[in-house]
Structure 1
Amino acid sequence: MAALDHLVVTARRLEEGVAWLESLLAVPLEPGGHHAAMGTHNRLLRLGNCEYLEVIAIDPHAPAPLQPRWFGLDGRAGPPSLTNWVVRVDDLDGALAVAPKGVGRIMDLSRGDLRWRMAVPESGHLPFDGMFPALIAWQGDAHPAGRLPDRGCRLDRLVIRHPDADKLADAVALDDPRVEFVAGPIGIEAWIQTPFGLRRLG
């Protein structure tokens, strides 16, 4: 089974990404943590019982990892933006066996008592020009979303744009009416329902 897990906003500096997203959505983000294996840190926002939004950036105080950082964070330029999405699967090995080349190798990761396995591309960039989702499998029942306060935000719609949208949709094979694959210039955008109305995140 595959399901949308979380959305990823990348930024050059974490505080810059947090300020941008909090201003856009008008709700506070919660503390996340550090990812020692990738040299990154994040802040989080709950989007539902098993979904959340993550702002992630390079941790300037962490040692550089042995491979390129995930989500193309090495050499990240420009303002904060939504750049990636992550799909949760029950069988990560099976999902990788049928996924496009370059989705990555499996890494066993942890933060506090959270444990997960994730496919991390060795280049730092995902297939289909970054529009293919990262694949994750949580270990045990613990999930970040369930530990975050509910600020009343929910994903309304997620649009993935790519010239080969049909091929991308077939490769992802996700049954979620909120997720749309549209032929066009490469990009990703989300509409988030907030207590203050619908906000576009791109």
Structure 2
Amino acid sequence: MPRLDHLSVIAPSLVEGISHLRECLGLDIPFGRKHIHMGTHNHLLRLGEAAYLEVIAIDEEAPPPAHPRWFGLDDRAAVRRAWDDGRRLRGWVASTDHFARDLARHPGVFGEPREFHAGASSYFFAVPVDGSLPMGGVVPSLIDRKGARPTLAPQTERGCELLAFTLEHPDPAGITRLYEALDIPGAPAVKHGEALRYTATIRTPSGIRILT
């Protein structure tokens, strides 16, 4: 079954993204990698043994891809509106070892299958045709690393741990049923809210902090 892999802060720029992490968590997180196939780049932070956090943004120095970027990043106006509204933790990714089966079980949920190559490794990732967040960000993006584990540099270890992951939504009962159908360990707890909004409770070296 799919399982929580990582959380995504979707930023107008990496400068704004890492500044937000500094404000929320009280620490700086290191640069991660460039995604040549998507024209994006990120910073990464390990959150214990089971998950990690990325801050992702468009790489303005990279040539634009021939297809829409992931995480809805091509809709710069929407990214900016959500950012200015304080909705910055807006995506999450679930990992599976049965990519084709999970897509077939839930048609139209995660998006279209794509295969990407990064150096000597390759992986599958599901992206909606227009590059948007799956179901507006309610469900995770789906990744299949082909049996490999996420490769995180030692400097991403800053003594942090994910304690809780929560989604506010106007229809908590409906979203809870959806998550039960998807059966993803680590899916966010759902409670009522006026709009879709994620929060993560993270233990840091300076205490427990809330990331939005």
- When normalised by structure 1's length, the TM-score is 0.89
Residue number among 116, 119, 124 corresponding to 2:126 in the alignment: 119
- Could you tell me how far 1:100 is from its partner in structure 2? 4.6
Distance 1:48 1:132 in 2: 22
Corresponding letter in the other structure for 1:108: E
Corresponding letter in the other structure for 1:77: R
- Identical counterparts, % of pairs: 38
Is residue 197 of structure 2 the alignment partner of residue 187 of structure 1? yes
- Could you tell me how far 1:58 is from its partner in structure 2? 0.5
Q: Are the counterparts in 2 of residues 128 and 168 from structure 1 also a CA contact under 8 Å?
A: no
Q: Are the counterparts in 1 of residues 113 and 126 from structure 2 also a CA contact under 8 Å?
A: yes
Residue number among 91, 97, 106 corresponding to 1:99 in the alignment: 106
**What SS does the aligned partner of 1:198 have?**
strand
- When normalised by structure 2's length, the TM-score is 0.85
- Could you tell me how far 1:65 is from its partner in structure 2? 1.7
Distance 2:176 2:51 in 1: 25
Q: Are the counterparts in 2 of residues 34 and 111 from structure 1 also a CA contact under 8 Å?
A: no
Is residue 169 of structure 2 the alignment partner of residue 136 of structure 1? no
- Could you tell me how far 1:102 is from its partner in structure 2? 4.5
Q: Which runs of 5+ in 2 are unaligned?
A: none
Partner of 1:167: 177
Name the count of aligned residue pairs: 201
Partner of 1:89: 96
Is residue 62 of structure 2 the alignment partner of residue 65 of structure 1? no
Q: Are the counterparts in 1 of residues 201 and 208 from structure 2 also a CA contact under 8 Å?
A: yes
For residues 42-77 of structure 1, give each alpha carbon's deviation from its aligned partner in whole angstroms, at most 9, with x where no partner exists.
110011234110000001011222222111111221
Shift of the 100–201 alpha-carbon distance from structure 1 to 2, 3 Å rule, reads: farther
Corresponding letter in the other structure for 1:104: G
Moved more, 18-27 or 138-147: 138-147
Taking only aligned residues, the RMSD between alpha carbons, in angstroms, comes to 2.1
